[in-house]
Amino acid sequence: MSTAVILAAGHGTRMRSRLPKAAHPIAFEPMLRRLIRACEAVFPRIVVVIGPDMPMLAAMAAPHAVVVQSERLGTAHAALAAAEHFGDGDVAILYADNPLIRPQTLARLRAARETAGLAMLAMRPPEPGRYGRVVLGAEGTVSRIVEYADATDAERAIPLCNAGVFCAAGPALRGWLGAVPRAPSGEFYLTDIVPLAGRAVAIEAPWQELRGINTRGELAEAEAEVQAGLREAAMAAGVTLIGPETVFLAADTRFGTDVTIGPHVVVGPGVTIGDGVTIRAFSHLEACAIGPDAIIGPFARLRPGTRVGTGAHVGNFVELKATSLGPGAKANHLAYLGDAEIGAGANIGAGTITCNYDGITKHRTVVGADAFIGSNATLVAPVSIGHGAFVAAGSTITDDAPEQSLVFGRARQVTKTGVAAKLRQFLAERARGRDDR
């Protein structure tokens, strides 16, 4: 059985963050999870090496095996910490801060390993900078990897750079890692297995795919690149993006056909969008499902657990949380619906809110099909509004409303004729008295 070992023990000091580097997200997905997803398509077994103080990464790695590197003594030392999981098949060593590697590239790496003791990934970045250089020998095989600090001017001029990913047979790799000499820094470096391997080959892939992410700036560059790919894939699948560069998608966003998305829309993780849906500008969606031909926004927010039915409308400044909006239902402006079930064809008036939280527990509101909720209604959960019921504007509803009922829950209006002028005079005199003080 082949194995992928992902090294994720680095703190990521240059990120200036309390989060482990591998936990920083790209397209709303932590770098570690993104790389695991690529490895799952090629390697039956995955092992993640983390530091002793990284429970967050251990949770992200689940259900895969996790090994703790108790001392940070270099990359070879980290890989050796997972040696008990190598088995007899091929083993690939990867870094969690190289999260853009595609499954196709990993498959090429495994295939190349069949013709050599060691296969590695290499790239030609436009600015090689301080990457280690790959020195090729006879027949294009890898002679050695020279670190930038140790390279001559001629070696620094080599455009082929080490991406840090290696693949070898498990038993051989275990032996090489145990034989890596300790560097003057006191650490053991993975690149030192190359001279021990005999025949090594380099597989080239685009530098954008193999780039490492060590700073917030590099993270932003990777985000821009991934977003560009997600937008292109969405448009190729039949989605219209009116302002593509302003739309942000998640890695797991699922679209139907003939979807239209306006500018400045953010689609977070766990979102499914059905055929013919229109999402208007400045809307924010996460962990929700939108049925066919629904209209969302502008300026709408759909939070986790929300389901919008076929042809339903969610208008401007409407927020839905853990709410089911039935087919054809409408909440067109200025409403909050939380922990609610809204029936088919129901109308939610402007300013309506569900009071779903009593300070301790969340409660549900049920609005029946074809019910009409007037503007500025307050529905105090738990409460149920029956099929076809009519709730008068400005009502506070605390008791269930039967089907087809008309419900008022507001104070009685009091009108005093001719008093307005006297009231204004009184207020003006009181204001002058304050000014005289």
Question: Mind telling me the catalytic residues?
Answer: 333
Taking the chain, what is the end-to-end CA distance rounded to the nearest angstrom?
A: 89
Cβ atoms 281, 263 nearer than 8 A: yes
Cβ atoms 348, 330 nearer than 8 A: yes
Residues 6+ apart with CB under 8 A from 295: 277, 278, 280, 312, 313, 314
Cβ atoms 276, 262 nearer than 8 A: no
Determine how many CB atoms are found less than 10 A away from the CB of residue 358. Answer: 11
Backbone phi, psi, residue 401, to 5°: -110, 125
Instruction: Please state, in angstroms and rounded to a whole number, the distance separating the CA atoms of residues 74 and 187.
Output: 5
Instruction: Please state, in angstroms and rounded to a whole number, the distance separating the CA atoms of residues 269 and 258.
Output: 21
**Three state DSSP letters for 205-255:** CCHHHHCCCCCHHHHHHHHHHHHHHHHHHHHHCCEEECCHHHCECCCCCEE
Backbone phi, psi, residue 368, to 5°: -70, 170
**Single-letter code of the amino acid located at 230:** L
Backbone phi, psi, residue 435, to 5°: -65, -30
